[in-house]
Amino acid sequence: MRDWRDHPEKDGSPAFCPRCADDPTLPAPGGDYAYLLGLYLGDGCISFAGDPAKRVWKLRVMCCDSWPGLIQECVAAMRAVRPDNKVMTVRKPGCTEVASCSRHWPCLFPQHGRGRKHTRRIELADWQRIIVERHPGDFARGLFHSDGYRGVNRVRRTWGEGIEHWYEYPRYLFTNNSVDILWLCGHTLDQLGVAWRFSKPNTISVARRKAVARLDEFVGPKY
């Protein structure tokens, strides 16, 4: 507030922004921010809301209608990070867009830029890294809730004289076409002590029983 009163030229909005304040602080609550960052990197985008001259931005996260619990979590995280801005839900075919308008989304998500995320460099700012290191479980939860999946894998093994056996086991997959985002996911899994590997060039797989149990503490099935 003080920053806005003393520097009205910086921004016409009275909404407090932790990043463009004179003494920048970390966005809070850290867990909600880390979760929203994961969602944004997975399935979010930032674009102008209306007339570009007004410099108001819209953050949008697409949520699949199959998981109403995740839509509610996304709404709650957006509201927690920008309590002064309204959060809207817009129904689209098969999905719901969760959106909120603010002048400060690009301050909060400096990964914003032209073109698709996998065509440009995605690096966390130092202050974002601090939050993610403090809240790796929330960050992983956001990533897996947007571009991930927990399901049952079925594999066939043949023993000796054609004796067939089917195995089923739960596993997590995280698919993203940005190498940078894949490595952010892998690094966070390392931090959580979750074993992972690339099952395809664009897919991280967590399949070992212990690793799945560990990730269940933070992510779990979609709901």
Which range, of 87-95, 97-105, 155-163, 206-214, touches Zn ion by CB under 5 A?
97-105
The reply to whether 17 sits near Zn ion by the rule CB under 5 A is: yes
Which range, of 19-27, 44-52, 139-147, 196-204, touches Zn ion by CB under 5 A?
19-27
| Residue placing its CB nearer to Zn ion in the complex, 113 or 170 | 113
Sorted by sequence, the CB contacts under 8 Å of residue 88 that are 6+ apart come out as: 98, 99, 100
The reply to whether 182 sits near Zn ion by the rule CB under 5 A is: no
Element (H, E) at 130: helix 126-134
The reply to whether 21 sits near Zn ion by the rule CB under 5 A is: no
- Three-state DSSP class for 204? strand
Q: Indicate which single residue of 15, 20, 64, 207 sits in contact with Zn ion (rule: CB under 5 A).
A: 20
The reply to whether 107 sits near Zn ion by the rule CB under 5 A is: yes
**65/67 Cα distance (integer angstroms):** 5
How many residues does this entry show for the chain?
223
The separation between the first and the last C-alpha atoms of the chain, rounded to the nearest angstrom, is: 38
Which range, of 76-84, 99-107, 135-143, 178-186, touches Zn ion by CB under 5 A?
99-107
Contact call for residues 21 and 84 (beta carbons, < 8 A): no
The reply to whether 104 sits near Zn ion by the rule CB under 5 A is: yes
| Residue placing its CB nearer to Zn ion in the complex, 57 or 218 | 57
Phi-psi domain of 13 (left: phi exceeds 0; alpha: psi -120 through 50; beta: other): beta
In the complex, the residues that contact Zn ion under the rule CB under 5 A are: 17, 19-20, 104, 107
